[in-house]
Amino acid sequence: MTYNTAVESVSAEGAVYYLFGATGDLARRKLFPALFSLYKEGKLSENFAVVGLARRPRTNEQFREDLYESIVEFCRYKADDAELWSKFAEHFVYMSLDINDVEGFRDLSRLSEQLDVKFNIPGNRLFYLALAPSLFGPVSFNLRDGGLLESNGWHRVVIEKPFGYDQPSAQKLNEQISQVFKEEEIYRIDHYLGKEMVQNIQVIRFANAFFEPLWNNNHIANVQITLSETVGVEERGGYYDKSGALRDMGQNHMLQMLTMIAMEPPSRLHGEDIRDEKVKVLRSLREYASSDEVRANVVRGQYSAGSMRGKELPGYREEDSVGEDSTTETYFAAKVLVDNFRWAGVPFYIRTGKRLPVKTTEVVIEFKSMPQNVLFAQRHDLAPNLLVIRVNPLEGIYIKVNAKTPGENNSVQPVAMEFCQSCQIGINTPEAYERLIHDAARGDSTYFTRWDEVSQAWSFVDKIAQAWREDKSDLKHYPAGSWGPEAADRLLAEEGFRWWPVNGQEEDNVIWVSNSGK
């Protein structure tokens, strides 16, 4: 099988972008703003067209108004240059289409030929499926049967998550899509892979002589990955109640981040080499062998009524479109082991939840403590060294080291030295969706998930889901605004560890040295 590898040109080749789900939430909040940012930065050539597709009727003018409103509300660039705006907007057209109507796809094919001529596009087609997963198969078949894949250029399909509900359903979905598209034409989105600091993990690891030699079980005590959210399920209760935190965040974003931390250096910085290394990590995850093992290593919770910053909040079961006796988890924490030479015995603690006190994504690497025969260790309880990778909302890294307290003999003081990348004036990092759309348009699938990764991640997660189905008695309730069930603290305490504070909520005695002015 041949795969695409990184393409270095900055501006994407001319193409028609088909935005299925153009009237939906994702398009409004993420995809339209991403396209505008790419245009502003000259990363879309002038030879492009975007066709918005959904069932509800819209004129081109109405569609462009929706586009404008979305950009005003969500884009990191302002749409205040009228001339640039009108040049951008004229590339957008709307067509009302039901995914199940193959005739509509034939009309779409004819429209595409006109757009090719109008914008001088060489037949390249990028299909973005911002749709419910049940439509991924039907849309693929109708793209083929409606003649959309007969043009001369390349054809790529970008598929939103969730890719399946478990391994068998993901497999079935993949078989359907694979009847139409080759693996190298399929771009499965995991938007965390498009985040600046997730991509930076490789650079931090492989470009720094003082990290990589220590990056193993001789020196690392544990790894902690936190993806905490303050929001509840918002308007997505219908979807979320069937999914839960494990499938919504665990199977994809959390395991992908874990692979970036744990993978071996790739032989080349090519997409396939990187994905080969990531899938090896997923294959090395120790699957829980029994329901008892799941209960001992995985904690699940659901938020109940509580408050945050003085605001009263409803419990999960009171949210719209959620069952009143729902047992869906809105939180989970797990101890995960990677059974390979590098990581044997090092626990990876992962946790995610909704309605937690802060919105943050952080990775903490905790290094092993110094040997006890060192002078300072005899007299003081030395804090371990930490490397913290901040993904969101602040982007950057800090290291926590021990230093002598100035002016005092034999007194040790923790010092945190931070490089806050997002605090630097002039740095306005691209949104994840911007990078990923640009990558797909350039044919670079490095930061998209390959089928073997998706399948392997489902196998790991399915073991947990199965144990949870059999016995729901371990579901813990936590008040909205708290850090989740206490059982998650015990997961670490059993091994003498604790969750480190996230999002700068550091202990009082730490001296900060930071470019953020903290």
Ligand X SMILES: O=C1O[C@H](COP(=O)(O)O)[C@@H](O)[C@H](O)[C@H]1O
Ligand Y SMILES: NC(=O)C1=CN([C@@H]2O[C@H](COP(=O)(O)OP(=O)(O)OC[C@H]3O[C@@H](n4cnc5c(N)ncnc54)[C@H](OP(=O)(O)O)[C@@H]3O)[C@@H](O)[C@H]2O)C=CC1
Judged by CB under 6 A, the chain residues 376 through 435 that form the site for ligand X are: 392
Minimum Å gap between C-beta 392 and ligand X is 6
Distances (CA, A) of 478 to 264, 302, 331: 37, 6, 9
| 362 contacts ligand X (rule: CB under 6 A) | no
Work out the burial of residue 6: count CB atoms within 10 Å of its CB; fewer than 13 is exposed, 13-18 middle, 19 or more buried: middle
Interactions with ligand Y, residue window 114-133 (CB under 6 A) = 130-133
Q: How far apart are the first and last CA of the chain?
A: 51
What string marks each residue from 214 to 243 as x (binds ligand X by CB under 6 A) or -?
A: ---------------x--------------
Is 229 known to sit in a ligand binding site? yes
Q: Which is nearer to ligand X, 116 or 248 (CB)?
A: 248
Task: Pick what 248 binds: ligand X, ligand Y, none; C-beta below 5 to 8 Å, kind-dependent.
Answer: ligand X
- Closest to ligand Y by CB, 195 vs 335, is 195
- Strand order across the beta sheet in which 220-228 lies: 476-479, 298-304, 331-337, 347-353, 220-228, 360-367, 386-392, 396-404, 412-420, 511-514
Residue 54, interface with ligand Y (CB under 6 A)? yes
Examine residue 55 and tell whether it contacts ligand Y (CB under 6 A): yes
Tell me which amino acid residue 11 is.
Answer: S
Give the span between the Cα atoms of 276 and 335, in whole angstroms: 24
Token pair 């010092």: residue? 415
| Residue found by looking up tokens 């998650």 in the block | 488
The CB density around residue 240, as the number of other CB atoms within 10 Å, is: 23
28 is in an annotated binding site: yes
Nearest distance, CB of residue 252 and ligand X, angstroms: 7
Residue 229 binds which of ligand X, ligand Y, none (CB < 5-8 A, kind-dependent): ligand X
Residue 306 labelled as part of a binding site: no
The reply to whether 319 sits near ligand X by the rule CB under 6 A is no
242 annotated as a binding-site residue: no
Concerning whether 253 is annotated as a catalytic residue, the answer is yes
Contacts 24+ apart (CB under 8 A), 502-506: 502/226, 502/228, 502/358, 502/360, 502/362, 502/364, 503/358, 503/359, 503/360, 503/362, 503/390, 503/393, 503/394, 504/394, 505/358, 506/416
Which candidate in 253, 270, 380, 438 is catalytic? 253
Nearer to ligand X, 229 or 462 (CB): 229
Contacts by residues 343-348 (CB-CB < 8 Å, ≥ 24 positions apart) = 343/216, 343/217, 343/262, 343/284, 344/217, 345/217, 346/217, 346/220, 346/221, 346/222, 346/223, 347/222, 347/223, 347/492, 347/495, 347/497, 348/222, 348/223, 348/224, 348/225, 348/258, 348/261, 348/262
Q: Rounded to the nearest 5 degrees, what angle is found at the Cα of 266, between the Cα atoms of 263 and 268?
A: 160
Shortest-Cβ-distance residue relative to ligand X: 248
CB 426, min distance to ligand Y, A:
29
484 appears as a binding residue in the annotation: no
Determine the interface stretch with ligand Y among 54-62, 70-78, 309-317, 439-447 (rule: CB under 6 A). Answer: 54-62
98 is in an annotated binding site: yes
**Least spacing, CB of residue 408 vs ligand X, in Å:** 42
The strand pair at 306-308 and 298-304 is best described as unpaired
Check residue 160 for interaction with ligand X (CB under 6 A). no
190 marked among binding-site residues: no
Question: Least distance (Å) from ligand Y to the CB of residue 61?
Answer: 17
Question: C-beta of 443: minimal distance to ligand X in Å?
Answer: 24
Q: Which is nearer to ligand X, 124 or 392 (CB)?
A: 392
Among ligand Y, ligand X, none, partner that 26 touches (CB below 5 to 8 angstroms by kind): ligand Y
H-helix or E-strand spanning residue 280: helix 271-284
Q: Which residues of 391-410 are buried (b: 16+ CB within 10 A; e: fewer)?
A: bbebbbbbbbebeeeeeeee
Q: Does 24 bind ligand Y (CB under 6 A)?
A: yes
Q: Which one among 185, 248, 418, 431 touches ligand X, defined by CB under 6 A?
A: 248
Task: Identify which of residues 55 and 87 has a Cβ nearer to ligand Y in the complex.
Answer: 55
Active site residues: 253
Known binding positions for substrate: 191, 195, 229, 248, 354, 359
Residues making contact with ligand X (CB under 6 A): 229, 248-249, 361, 392
Residues making contact with ligand Y (CB under 6 A): 21-26, 54-56, 97-99, 130-133, 160-162
Known binding positions: 21-28, 55, 98-99, 161, 191, 195, 229, 248, 354, 359
